[in-house]
Amino acid sequence: MRLRINRTDLPLTRYKMIKGSTVSVVRAIIVELEQDGLRGYGEVAEESLLGTRIEDIERDVESLGPDLANHALADLCAFNRYLGSRLSSLSARCALEMAACDLWGKISCRPFRSIWPNPSSELPISSYTITQDNPERMIEKFEAAPKWPLYRLELGSRGDVEAVEEIRNRTDARLRVDLSGQWRYEDVLDLLGLFVELDIEMIEQPLPPGQWGCMKVLKENSPIPIYADESCLSFADIDRCAECFHGINLRPVKFGGLILTYKAIQKAKSLGLKTLIGNVFESTISASAVAQFAPILDDIYIDGPYQIEKRGGIQGVTLDEGRIVYPHGDGCGVTIVPKSY
């Protein structure tokens, strides 16, 4: 296989607040694996949650280039074990393995999602994310995309609930909130009644990671399903999350790729957890890979490409106001015009 790496910036259409800091551009790398004239693509962005820097990810991926030149992709599980023995970085491993899964599907002449047993014919709807901001700006972001059937609202503090109330006044769409691990236990408990009145159907990561005792009490008292994100960074965390959450966000970067994410989904389901995969910081490449899990997930959000300034040349899975539309093609369905990124 031939390895190519391209570092790229993903400029957000509207800036995003992360714990008081403003983010307008996300740094990412695109990984390309080529074999027999076919190309598979993977992507990973700089991830503050995992403490990864794009320079380190790029260096780790690049270190395997000479060895991969003598490696032919045939068995995905064997390739996954190989990556696990060579890379400690989950981000680097995820980017390479994602590209390998896309390439394997193209070599096998089948969509990657066809490998899952017992897929559902009814796919979950992707939400549209209203990123954290002051209430006025959040309402502006909603007005820029007013026809989606499901919205995910990021809230930095209880003061942002004003935006939720105003958006509820403007739409009958389904609403979810992501508190990004920034809220106090007392505030969440106090506002559960209001969230019920506003018909909020999911709360993602209300408390900072590690507050297991408070999370267990919240789970026992919440009439609204509560999902983990920052509280789950590994397989070991899934068991603990089953005690304290109703569902869990199983992003591939946490586990080092798609194959291990599938195993995480299986484990979560065996413990009675609902399964979600979602990430706002991603292009069509990563969103198309995550969309391969839609037939076996309870929930999903892959609206990242709609949060990024449009760029020509990269094609894959799209959303029709939240409804997943798979392209004709094998692998994860990604095609890229050379030099378009």
CATH number at residue 30: 3.30.390.10
**Residue 163, in any domain of the structure:** yes
Model pLDDT, residue 341: 55
The token pair that represents 163 in the structure block: 């935006």
Quick one: pLDDT at residue 281? 82
Total domains in the fold of the chain = 2
Question: pTM (2 decimals)?
Answer: 0.94
Instruction: Identify whether 128 is part of a domain.
Output: yes
Q: Domain limits at 190?
A: 114-336
Query: Could you tell me if 231 and 266 lie in one domain?
Result: yes
pLDDT for residue 66: 94
pLDDT at 292: 98
What pLDDT, on a 0 to 100 scale, did the predictor assign at position 16? 65
Altogether, the residues listed in the chain come to a count of: 341
Pairing of strands 314-315, 335-336: antiparallel
* CA pseudo-torsion sign 327, 329, 332, 333: negative
Domain boundary among 60, 94, 112: 112
Q: What is the residue-level pLDDT of the chain in tens, covering all 341 positions?
A: 999 999 998 888 776 666 556 778 889 999 999 999 999 999 999 877 777 889 999 999 999 999 999 889 999 999 999 999 999 899 999 999 999 999 999 999 999 999 999 999 999 999 999 999 889 999 999 999 999 999 999 999 888 999 999 999 999 999 999 999 999 999 999 999 999 999 999 999 999 999 999 999 999 999 999 999 999 999 999 999 999 999 999 999 999 999 999 999 999 999 999 999 998 888 999 999 999 999 999 999 999 999 887 666 899 999 999 999 999 999 999 999 766 55
Q: 184 burial class (0-12, 13-18, 19+ CB within 10 angstroms)? A: middle
Residue 149 identity = P
Residue 341, domain member (yes or no): no
Cα–Cα distance list, 190 to 196, 214, 218, 225 (Å):
12, 13, 11, 16
What the block records as the tokens of 292 is: 């391969």
Residue 308: its pLDDT value, please? 87
> For the chain, where are the E strands, in sequence order?
2-18, 21-35, 38-45, 128-130, 150-154, 174-178, 200-204, 226-228, 247-249, 274-278, 299-301, 314-315, 318-320, 323-325, 335-336
